[in-house]
Chains A and B, each alone.
Chain A
């Protein structure tokens, strides 16, 4: 027995609808600490106009945001702040690691600079460049939108997969450090 669908009615998955809403209204949380932040501002400004992709509403309160854009190097004194801001954001939330420093530490291979924020918080998109051009950041946001549309679910089940929970590099690296000679005095 066929059910007659009235005009102007579309049948689809609720996951699909939720993801469609989410991907087109990303509210970025700018965590800008260095020159990448300048490019981030240029991305939001009139010339490149991030509003074309529905992500122009930069909010400086993490409770109103669902996309953290880490633009610039993060030092070890700043990382607890970064983690706290990340925890203050509501699910579902995503993270873009913008530029070489946020992704790998960049040229700052020193005692004070975290060698990639993905060691300590989840990252969805990496943007290469030093600093990346606004077009690259826009491309990352478009790719993130595709990702949200492709695998997003209403209840956020995609965040709870085995692959998402794999051990991060930081946990692998600390035992290696302990094998180096010299006094090891882990702080904190």
Chain B
């Protein structure tokens, strides 16, 4: 072994993180070893705290520290419109455009048979429950413009349209096969504005 056991253990944990290969893991580990104990304590505390206090909002399934997330709790938001996204990070991307005033629903993924993900593995039931309350009139499907995102949008349209809702899809100005993450704010803002009915 090249490393002392505690260092090896740290490297092993770091390498499990997304986008961190052996080289970056080594760089991070050595940075931590060189830095002051105080800074490392803050990092460790921050890691533990997110895990302790952050949970899913029971209404939209975005991350939150309160009972409801800030968006769901905000009486100024338009409760008649729900925007369906794949992941919590997509909420951030859309909020950044500043142009959307409705609520969200985080599916927790997209339909992908290769990965064994069907509608039952996503939060579709919870979306239907929310809609059953009767305040929602439009559902904006803002899944990514990938093959899986499009297919999921078609599936949702098939489920929701018989309920008498307006179901719209963000416009195709977005790069094909693209993640919302990579779209800049202006493009994404426009795509939301120019949504079309499914």
Do the two chains bind?
A: no
Enumerate chain B interface residues (CB-CB to A < 8 A). Answer: none
Enumerate chain A interface residues (CB-CB to B < 8 A). Answer: none
